Structure 1
Amino acid sequence: MNHNKTLQPSTHYRLGWFTLLALITYAWLAPLAMPDPYLQDLSATLQPPSHQHWLGTDALGRSVLARLAEGVRVSLSLALGSALMSAVLGASLGVLAAWRKGWLARALQSLADAVMAMPGLLWVLLLSALAPGEKWPLYLGLVLTAWVEFYRTTRASVGALLAGPQVQSSQLLGFGPAYIAQYHLWPAVRSTWLSLLAFAVCNGVLAVAAMGFVGIGLRPPGAELGVLMTEALPHSDDAPWLLATPVLALLACVLALQAVTRPRAPQP
């Protein structure tokens, strides 16, 4: 009997990618066939879902379907951009600390500890308060809080790899840092980095929505999931679909990002 197990994509993984791709397609392509998300029609306020407005209209007569697409696009763009920057910054500093060691590693570790001493959402809140309604404080705050995880994980993983026999053999044979990074470091840390990247995007989406909901992040008339929730809250009794749509979109986005971090499950 063969007891070996092969790794196959799990149902949650496939469903997560399908949901994520559907959200991305909706956010970037659907606006091409939709009305302007900022176009107001005061004669058609708070209309329920219909064949003309699939998700109804808000208090200013704007299409909820178009507003939601804009909100998902803005939220994902901010979260993905900050996550990629955090990954590059944190991974680069982690490799540098593991390779050079000494005072540089100690200084970077002290900086990481100082950032981690304060909750990440509080960093985003403080920076967002510098320029309420602007995107750059949100972006900067998300990068500041997310790079530490990449740094600490990379430093620990790369430090063990550099002390291993494979890397030392490559160094004795005269291979340079580029070869070692490509053939030894990257294959070993790739899956961990991709998982951290997905979690960073997930946390970024939640942080942007939280800041918009409390009025510190993006502000109306800008469309963002947290802003859409804030706009819909006063009308939750008369028009419950206004609040349900951004909440469900945020839930779907977060669950999809969490699902894609578990790509494979063992099968007999």
Structure 2
Amino acid sequence: MSTVNETAHAAPKAGIGKARLAGAALLILLGAFAIVGPEIVAADPAEQDFGASLAPIGGNYLLGADHYGRSLLARLAHGARLSFGMAFLTMLAAAIPGVLLGLLAAWKGGWTERALELAATVILALPGLMLVLLFLAFSPGNYGPLFLGLSLTLWVEFYRVTKATTKTVLTQPHIEAAQMLGFGSRYILLHYVLPVIAPMIATLAAFAMATAIIAVSTLSAISVGLQPPTPELGSMIVELLPYYTEAPLHVLLPAGLIFLLVLALQLLAQGDRA
């Protein structure tokens, strides 16, 4: 969970540099694999064939088979869709309320801001993974508690960055002039505030997705997240780890996919100017 916390207040770098372009290109490729891969790969990720246990890469299995004879290509495609989809939905569920509440706190101030600050402080008082584990304790292995716990952990950074930036923008002379001319809050927020905070929110969104991917994989790897036979990348690593000496590449495939997903998001968020 520390990825977002450590980088939330770093200003996004302007321009579209080589690193950012590389991140975008890699993310598009991985996103395409996650979205259309399960449709192209005809194999069922849960179908077992013990005669093909730990089948090597190539032959009947393009990326080999696991210890149950399940196609690794099919499982990786479904695992990528699961990780990418959960990360994207978690980011949206954290960003939308976080940004809206940040705008509300900055505009209203007073008791509204104090109440929201108290709620954010309470959330931050618990370590991120601990909050997720509390939700998972009620329904282990299900999507709902995992999704809700991650969203509740990540919204605080969106809220605080939005509030701090908006309060700064609202003190500028052109905002006072717009208010004196009779422009309403909706017009001011849409035309003066959102263009300023949008690059920061985009950066936070990338970091939030990377954090969600790592968290889902970590929790599944320690058997408190999504459970087998669900094709989740973290649980795939743990399942194949006892067979590392026999098929090391089989273990590295899901680990490499997690690495590439997180790398693409990090490059997209932190790209420098060309």
TM-based fold match above 0.5: yes
d(CA) in 2 for partners of 1:82, 1:50 = 36
Q: Does the Cα contact within 8 Å between 2:18 and 2:272 map onto a contact in 1?
A: no
Deviation, 1:263, is 4.1
Q: Secondary structure at the match of 2:209?
A: helix
d(CA) in 2 for partners of 1:125, 1:19 = 31
Partner AA of 1:252 in structure 2: L
Question: What corresponds to 1:3 in structure 2?
Answer: none
Q: Does the Cα contact within 8 Å between 1:56 and 1:241 map onto a contact in 2?
A: no
d(CA) in 2 for partners of 1:127, 1:224 = 19
Question: What corresponds to 1:37 in structure 2?
Answer: 45
Question: What corresponds to 1:183 in structure 2?
Answer: 191
**Residues 1:211 and 2:225 aligned together:** no
Deviation, 1:241, is 1.9
Partner AA of 1:251 in structure 2: F
Q: Secondary structure at the match of 1:59?
A: coil
TM-score using structure 1 length:
0.94
Structure 1: tracts of 5 or more residues without a match: 1-6
d(CA) in 2 for partners of 1:181, 1:104 = 18
d(CA) in 2 for partners of 1:116, 1:166 = 35
Which of 231, 241, 253 does residue 245 from structure 1 map onto? Answer: 253
Q: Secondary structure at the match of 1:241?
A: helix
d(CA) in 1 for partners of 2:226, 2:35 = 19
Deviation, 1:128, is 1.6
Deviation, 1:71, is 0.7
d(CA) in 1 for partners of 2:15, 2:98 = 30
Deviation, 1:8, is 5.0
Q: Between Structure 1 and Structure 2, how many residues are aligned?
A: 260
**Residues 1:69 and 2:116 aligned together:** no
Structure 2: tracts of 5 or more residues without a match: 1-13
**Residues 1:117 and 2:132 aligned together:** no
Deviation, 1:242, is 2.0
Which of 139, 143, 148 does residue 151 from structure 2 map onto? Answer: 143
Q: Secondary structure at the match of 2:269?
A: coil
d(CA) in 2 for partners of 1:90, 1:25 = 28
d(CA) in 2 for partners of 1:14, 1:76 = 19
Report the CA distance shift for 1:253/1:120 in structure 2 as closer, same or farther (over 3 A). same
d(CA) in 2 for partners of 1:27, 1:52 = 22
Deviation, 1:240, is 1.2
Partner AA of 2:231 in structure 1: A
**Residues 1:94 and 2:102 aligned together:** yes
Question: What corresponds to 2:89 in structure 1?
Answer: 81
Deviation, 1:224, is 0.9
d(CA) in 1 for partners of 2:186, 2:56 = 59
Q: Does the Cα contact within 8 Å between 2:52 and 2:65 map onto a contact in 1?
A: yes
Question: What corresponds to 1:254 in structure 2?
Answer: 262
Deviation, 1:179, is 0.9
Q: Does the Cα contact within 8 Å between 2:54 and 2:65 map onto a contact in 1?
A: yes
Q: Percent identity?
A: 39
TM-score using structure 2 length:
0.92
d(CA) in 2 for partners of 1:159, 1:106 = 14
Question: What corresponds to 1:221 in structure 2?
Answer: 229
Question: What corresponds to 1:53 in structure 2?
Answer: 61
d(CA) in 2 for partners of 1:15, 1:160 = 33
Q: Does the Cα contact within 8 Å between 2:221 and 2:237 map onto a contact in 1?
A: yes
Deviation, 1:262, is 2.6
Shift >4 Å, 4+ stretches: none
Partner AA of 2:65 in structure 1: T
Q: Secondary structure at the match of 1:28?
A: helix
d(CA) in 2 for partners of 1:175, 1:249 = 49
Q: Does the Cα contact within 8 Å between 2:45 and 2:75 map onto a contact in 1?
A: yes
Question: What corresponds to 2:25 in structure 1?
Answer: 18
Which of 197, 201, 204 does residue 196 from structure 1 map onto? Answer: 204
Question: What corresponds to 1:157 in structure 2?
Answer: 165
d(CA) in 2 for partners of 1:45, 1:129 = 34
d(CA) in 2 for partners of 1:33, 1:200 = 29
d(CA) in 1 for partners of 2:189, 2:112 = 20
**Residues 1:28 and 2:35 aligned together:** yes
d(CA) in 2 for partners of 1:211, 1:176 = 46
Question: What corresponds to 2:10 in structure 1?
Answer: none
